[in-house]
């Protein structure tokens, strides 16, 4: 678990994805190969600005054990202003969220590996003020 | 050009619990508590917020406002008494989250509520010696308090981050010094979940001795008197202490009111005096002179004299600290207990 998360820190702590410079397609999570251009792929890393709008969302009531204190929580599809559509948790009251709502990235705790384990951090979204 | 503040950022969690709500549970009179402490509500971290997340958000605001290239930050110091890990630095989490590469000095500081200002002093020394171009000093806490302890009315969460450098300075550090002694007024032993304190002993021998001594020494060293300052900010463990310290030293209410944030967000510990200082920077004009005196139990005070420069005119300062203080969502005491993990769960 630790090495698997550690390898992705750069992409989870901020919204660092990739873009194919040949066709302009943006990816998050990052891809190192463009499925459209295939052998002509020209992949470059790209940091997205972290602002966007909610395209769709679901409210999760039945959660894995590590998230039971957080329930209910929101998982949404977010269309970034300068990037692709990504999946992320949105931190707000479930009554507050709606399709089209403007959101902005925030740095939050994902979960803790028990009381003596590693704490995993990453990007979530909150309503834009 | 002397080193100074190039940019600053703050973060205050959006959740709040009121003094009325806490007092109701413990059978105290809310009005007595509010009058006695000068605190009306306090900020509460959400389940997924801690000192690392607060530090990152404050740092990102500072970097964005100052348009700083993170790769030019040569040192990150995070001061807190609630680092998420006892062993494993918060500063490395901040470094990766802001994307400053791998060539930077990093350490976590702990000196009760003054670890953030200690970070500013270290960054200043490294910048002035030429070791680094920019340093990032952060003070942040999600402070602990035992249920039913008077501390529960004030111990809160928040933080501020400062980019220190010589280029693009918005507030020059004219002078800084520290006043330090071994005074056991407040402590938390290894493995203990909540801090202990010496009750009234935290007042005159601890807070007032260190804060007033540091303030008097820095004014004697520079030849300034209280009326030479446009603003002053002192550490804010409650709403009473900083007002009394100001009165002892000869500062007016008008000089301290803008930075007096404790009444509405509580004591953010390592973030306390520097969030107040940030609230002052939010409205400061070029030429203004500001006195900042922090206090950390155990005990010590760092005093600073800042001169606001012409570059402040074009520096972006919205949302302001008071915008963030005035927002917020109020929770009840039982939700507060859950958020602060004061409820013992099975398994």
Q: What is the ipTM of this complex?
A: 0.96
Q: Distance between CA atoms of B258 and B67, rounded to whole angstroms? A: 26
Question: Hey, how many other C-beta atoms are within 10 angstroms of the C-beta on B300?
Answer: 25
Q: Give the burial class of B231: count Cβ atoms within 10 A of its Cβ; 0-12 exposed, 13-18 middle, 19 or more buried.
A: buried
Closest by CA to B150, choosing from B269, B12, B39, is B39
Peptide bond between residue B296 and the one before it cis (omega within 30 degrees of 0): no
pLDDT at B344: 84
Strands B289-293 and A102-112, sheet pairing: unpaired
* Residues of chain A positioned with their CB less than 8 A from the CB of B49: 108-109
Is residue B347's pLDDT more than 70? no
Tokens linked to A64: 């894995």
CB–CB contact A107 B319 (8 Å)? no
Closest by CA to B83, choosing from B270, B237, B251, is B270
Tokens linked to B57: 């958000």
Percent of chain B with pLDDT over 70: 100
Domain count across chain A:
1
Q: Containing domain of residue A75, as a range?
A: 2-127
Does the CB of A1 have a partner CB in chain B at under 8 Å?
A: no
CB–CB contact B99 A14 (8 Å)? yes
* pLDDT digits 0-9 by tens, B41-90: 999 999 999 999 999 999 999 999 999 999 999 999 999 999 999 999 99
pLDDT at A129: 81
* pLDDT digits 0-9 by tens, B285-340: 999 999 999 999 999 999 999 999 999 999 999 999 999 999 899 999 999 999 99
pLDDT at B327: 84
* pLDDT digits 0-9 by tens, B119-163: 999 999 999 999 999 999 999 999 999 999 999 999 999 999 999
CB–CB contact A108 B319 (8 Å)? no
DSSP secondary structure letters along A96-117: T--TT-EEEEEEEEEEESSSSS
Closest by CA to B159, choosing from B263, B61, B75, B304, is B61
* Residues of chain B positioned with their CB less than 8 A from the CB of A14: 97, 99
CB–CB contact A109 B49 (8 Å)? yes
Is residue B228's pLDDT more than 80? yes
CA A70 to chain centre: 17
Does the CB of B85 have a partner CB in chain A at under 8 Å?
A: yes
At B211, the pLDDT band (50, 70, 90 cuts) reads very high
CB–CB contact A109 B47 (8 Å)? yes
Is residue A13's pLDDT more than 70? yes
- On average, the pLDDT of chain B sits at 96
What is the distance in angstroms between the Cα of A47 and the nearest Cα belonging to chain B?
Answer: 10
- On average, the pLDDT of chain A sits at 95
Cβ atoms of B269 and B188 within 8 Å: the answer is no
Q: What are the φ/ψ torsions at residue A96 (nearest 5 degrees)?
A: -85, -30
CATH 3.40.47.10 segments of chain B: 4-170+315-339, 174-313
pLDDT at B236: 97
CA closest to B54 among chain A residues: A107
Residues of B recognised as catalytic: 81, 113, 235
CB–CB contact B46 A129 (8 Å)? no
Percent of chain A with pLDDT over 90: 92
* pLDDT digits 0-9 by tens, A104-118: 999 999 999 988 999
pLDDT at A65: 86
pLDDT at A66: 85
CB–CB contact A119 B85 (8 Å)? yes
* Residues of chain B positioned with their CB less than 8 A from the CB of A9: 96
Provide CB contacts within 8 A for B63, sequence distance 6+.
Answer: B7, B9, B70, B73, B98, B163
Strands A119-127 and A102-112, sheet pairing: antiparallel
Q: What are the φ/ψ torsions at residue B171 (nearest 5 degrees)?
A: -145, 105
Q: What are the φ/ψ torsions at residue B226 (nearest 5 degrees)?
A: -50, -40
DSSP secondary structure letters along A12-26: HHS-EEEEETTT--E
* CATH-assigned architecture of domain B174-313: 3-Layer(aba) Sandwich (3.40)
Tokens linked to A58: 């679901």
* pLDDT digits 0-9 by tens, B265-288: 999 999 999 999 999 999 999 999
Q: A56-60, A67-71, B129-133, B163-167: which has the minimum mean pLDDT?
A: A67-71
Does the CB of B57 have a partner CB in chain A at under 8 Å?
A: yes
Helix then strand then coil, % of chain A, to nearest 5: 15, 45, 40
* Residues of chain B positioned with their CB less than 8 A from the CB of A69: 47, 338
Tokens linked to B325: 């203080």
Summary count for chain B: helices (H), strands (E): 12, 14
Give me the residue label for tokens 């220190």. Answer: B164
CB–CB contact A13 B97 (8 Å)? yes
pLDDT at B106: 98
Q: Does domain B4-170+315-339 match CATH 2.40.110.10?
A: no
What is the distance in angstroms between the Cα of B114 and the nearest Cα belonging to chain A?
Answer: 24
In sequence order, the β-bridge partners of residue B18 are: B41
Is residue B346's pLDDT more than 80? no
CA closest to A128 among chain B residues: B319
Q: SS3 for B119?
A: helix
Probe site for chain A from B48, B85, B340 (most A CB atoms < 10 A) = B48
Of A16, A107, A129, the CB nearest to B57: A107
* Residues of chain B positioned with their CB less than 8 A from the CB of A117: none
At B5, the pLDDT band (50, 70, 90 cuts) reads very high
Q: Distance between CA atoms of A49 and A70, rounded to whole angstroms? A: 27
CA closest to B347 among chain A residues: A114
* pLDDT digits 0-9 by tens, B68-80: 999 999 999 999 9
């Amino acid at each position: 678990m630790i090495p698997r998360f550690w390898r992705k820190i750069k992409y989870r702590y901020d919204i660092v994805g990739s873009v194919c410079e040949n066709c302009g397609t943006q990816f998050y999570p990052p891809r190192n190969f463009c499925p459209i251009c295939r052998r002509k792929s020209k992949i470059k890393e790209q940091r997205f600005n972290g602002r966007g709008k909610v395209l769709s969302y679901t409210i999760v009531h039945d959660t894995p054990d590590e998230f039971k204190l957080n329930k209910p929580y929101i998982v949404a599809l977010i269309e970034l202003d300068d990037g692709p559509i990504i999946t992320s948790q949105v931190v707000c009251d479930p009554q507050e969220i709606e399709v089209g709502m403007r959101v902005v990235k925030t740095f939050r705790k994902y979960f803790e590996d028990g009381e003596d384990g590693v704490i995993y951090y990453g990007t979530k979204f909150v309503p834009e003020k | 050009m002397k080193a100074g503040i190039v940019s600053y950022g703050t973060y205050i969690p959006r959740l709040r619990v009121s003094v009325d709500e806490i007092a109701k549970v413990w059978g105290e009179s809310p009005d007595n508590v509010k009058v006695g402490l000068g605190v009306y509500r306090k900020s509460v971290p959400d389940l997924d917020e801690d000192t690392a997340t607060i530090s990152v958000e404050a740092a990102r605001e500072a970097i964005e406002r100052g348009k700083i290239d993170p790769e030019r930050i040569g040192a990150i110091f995070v001061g807190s008494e609630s680092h998420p890990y006892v062993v494993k630095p918060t500063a490395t989490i901040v470094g990766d989250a802001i994307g400053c590469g791998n060539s930077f000095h990093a350490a976590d500081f702990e000196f009760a509520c003054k670890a953030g200002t200690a970070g500013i002093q270290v960054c200043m020394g490294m910048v002035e010696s030429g070791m680094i171009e920019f340093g990032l000093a952060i003070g942040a806490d999600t402070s602990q308090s035992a249920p039913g302890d008077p501390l529960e009315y004030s111990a809160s969460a928040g933080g501020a981050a400062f980019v220190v450098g010589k280029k693009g300075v918005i507030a020059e550090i004219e002078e800084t010094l520290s006043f330090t002694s071994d005074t056991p007024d407040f402590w938390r032993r290894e493995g203990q979940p909540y801090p202990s304190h010496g009750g009234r002993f935290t007042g005159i021998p601890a807070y007032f001795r260190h804060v007033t001594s540091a303030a008097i020494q820095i004014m004697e060293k520079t030849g300034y008197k209280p009326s030479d300052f446009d603003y002053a900010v002192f550490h804010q463990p409650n709403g009473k202490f900083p007002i009394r310290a100001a009165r002892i030293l000869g500062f007016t209410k008008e000089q301290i009111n803008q930075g007096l944030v404790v009444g509405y967000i509580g004591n953010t510990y390592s973030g306390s005096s520097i969030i107040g200082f940030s609230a002052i920077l939010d409205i400061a004009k070029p030429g203004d002179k500001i006195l900042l005196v922090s206090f950390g139990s155990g005990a010590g005070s760092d005093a600073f004299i800042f001169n606001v420069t012409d570059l402040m005119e074009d520096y972006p300062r919205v949302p302001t600290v008071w915008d963030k203080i005035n927002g917020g969502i109020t929770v009840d005491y039982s939700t507060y207990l859950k958020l602060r993990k004061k409820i013992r769960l099975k398994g």
